[in-house]
Amino acid sequence: MKEFVQISTDKAVNPSSIMGASKRVAEIYTQSLNGRQGCPTQFKSVRFGNVLGSSGSVVPTFERQIRRGGPVTVTHPEMTRYFMTIPEASQLVLQAAATGSGGEIFLLDMGEPVKIVDLAHDMITLSGMKVGEDIDITFSGIRPGEKLFEELSTVGEDIAPTVHPKVKIWKHRVVDWELIQKVLEELQTLTNCSDRGKIIAVITRLVPEYDPQNPPSVKADGLQSVGSVKQ
């Protein structure tokens, strides 16, 4: 295999959830394989933001809630996310495969982060309805492992341009190969382990910035029954 592109996420940056931490582990592993003796494959990673219209995207969820007459449920009024379209996501993978020498993390310039509550408000308005009159927006509160905002790079990663003006490279920090092997071997022994603490302890050896107890900077207490949002 000449090229291997690993699909990662912006949640791998300073992760606060198992999903983000496991994606960061995958980034570290695939990048460490790049250039190893006897391995001709070029390993690269792409970090995705939220892909509009994809499986699990917030947009189809909001559409279903609007069709039902609401309420539209938003986690927190200050929560923001980076968004990209399906064509942009596809082109990012192809661009990563076509450029670089291996070991890079590619990321699309997704512009400014979008407030989720603004997205909900716009979708309700575009459906021909009014917030607070036809459909309410309610807040459910931040769940464990969720962040109010996502980050694009972590300590030790430098930004470099590519031939494509909207695609950047985040150069990763070097991680000891022996440590990677030991951590992956330990994680394999914990495959059927129900002790979450043990799994987290092993992952943090490879991803020290993983903070499973990362508290939200703005509390979501008392937001569950908000009826409408003023813009």
**Exposed/middle/buried for residue 23 (C-beta within 10 Å: 0-12, 13-18, 19+):** buried
11 among known catalytic residues: yes
Q: Which two tokens stand for residue 145?
A: 């492992």
Selected catalytic residue, list 2, 11, 171, 198: 11
Query: Using an 8 Å Cβ cutoff, are 43 and 26 in contact?
Result: no
Strands (E), 35-120: 42-48, 50-51, 72-74, 80-81, 83-84, 104-108, 114-115
Query: Using an 8 Å Cβ cutoff, are 110 and 82 in contact?
Result: yes
How far, in Å, are 19, 54, 91, 109, 154 from residue 104 at the CA level? Answer: 21, 25, 16, 16, 14
Q: Could you list the active site residues?
A: 11
